[in-house]
């Protein structure tokens, strides 16, 4: 059995008609005994509403303690958030990923630390928050970013899920800085498989992450070769996880992009097999 443990992050379907396929995906992933499965939170009001309607069904599908909804504070006032997470607690959910989300308006939750405080007022959830190994694009410096992270931890966050990166040393330096900053919290690396080079460069620009030259070299020239791209994406992720595992990292948060074949290939390459195979 692999000593590596994964959690999976998925996108909710864009339309209600995709709900059945989404739940089927969760069931498939659950066979690989993840630490948990999280679902991202829509940016617009209609997307948020669709995500929220799916939370209860997803919790029923894989077990409420295994399903972890994201919650973005921007765009919502405190009373709305309290009502929502209270309902989640009643559904059996015990873990939330708390994010700032969109910029807050008047009367809305202004930052992730405030959101953690609001959730804590409702009940004793486990709360994960975001961390940025290469600094959030709106932070003045990495020290300012670590100060903000410290406020989230002091408010009650117990786990940090990092933004994606491709150089193992980027994460290892960040982990050391969190430790030196006195952050007594588990820092879990966020791992992103590459679907296309153009997509990952777009994602990286949005969050100020670096795409190293070796990644560009690996994927350049494969724009019309999706099967080759998928194969190299798996190899790249497995190399990164195994390198970090040799440095003592055991837990990883996989940004699946709801890509089932790629996710399963990564699991099997790491020696993580479905329950039926282990039982056999």
**Which residues carry out catalysis?**
9
- Strand-pair partners of 159: 128, 186
State how far the Cα of 139 lies from the Cα of 134, in Å rounded to an integer: 10
For residue 96 the two structure tokens come to 């939330």
Query: Which residue from 26, 169, 171, 38 is spatially nearest to 94, judged by alpha carbons?
Result: 38
CB atoms within 10 A of CB 269: 15
Say if residue 94 is exposed, middle or buried (CB neighbours under 10 Å; 0-12, 13-18, 19+).
middle
> Is the distance from CB of 159 to CB of 188 less than 8 angstroms?
yes
Longest dimension (CA), the chain: 57
């Amino acid at each position: 059995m692999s000593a590596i443990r994964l959690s999976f992050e998925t996108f909710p379907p864009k339309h209600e008609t995709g709900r059945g396929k989404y739940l089927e995906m969760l069931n498939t992933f659950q066979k690989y005994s993840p630490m948990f499965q999280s679902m991202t939170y829509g940016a617009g009001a209609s997307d948020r509403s669709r995500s929220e309607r799916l939370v209860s069904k997803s919790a029923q599908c894989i077990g409420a303690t295994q399903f972890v909804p994201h919650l973005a504070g921007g765009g919502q006032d405190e009373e709305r958030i309290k009502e929502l997470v209270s309902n989640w607690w009643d559904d059996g959910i015990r873990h939330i990923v708390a994010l700032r989300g969109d910029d807050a308006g008047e009367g809305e939750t202004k930052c992730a630390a405030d959101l953690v405080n609001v959730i804590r007022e409702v009940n004793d959830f486990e709360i994960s928050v975001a961390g940025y190994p290469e600094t959030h694009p709106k932070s003045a410096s990495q020290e300012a970013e670590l100060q903000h992270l410290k406020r989230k931890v002091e408010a009650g966050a117990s786990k940090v899920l990092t933004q994606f990166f491709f150089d193992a040393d980027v994460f290892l330096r960040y982990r050391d800085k969190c430790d030196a900053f006195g952050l007594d919290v588990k820092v879990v690396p966020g791992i992103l498989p590459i679907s296309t080079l153009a997509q990952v460069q777009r994602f990286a620009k949005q969050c100020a992450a670096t795409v190293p030259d070796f990644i560009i070299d690996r994927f350049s020239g494969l724009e019309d070769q999706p099967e080759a791209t998928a194969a190299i994406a798996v190899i790249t992720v497995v190399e990164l996880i195994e390198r970090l595992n040799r440095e003592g990292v055991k837990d990883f948060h996989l940004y699946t992009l709801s890509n089932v074949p790629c996710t399963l290939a990564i699991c099997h390459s790491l020696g993580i097999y479905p329950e039926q195979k282990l039982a056999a």
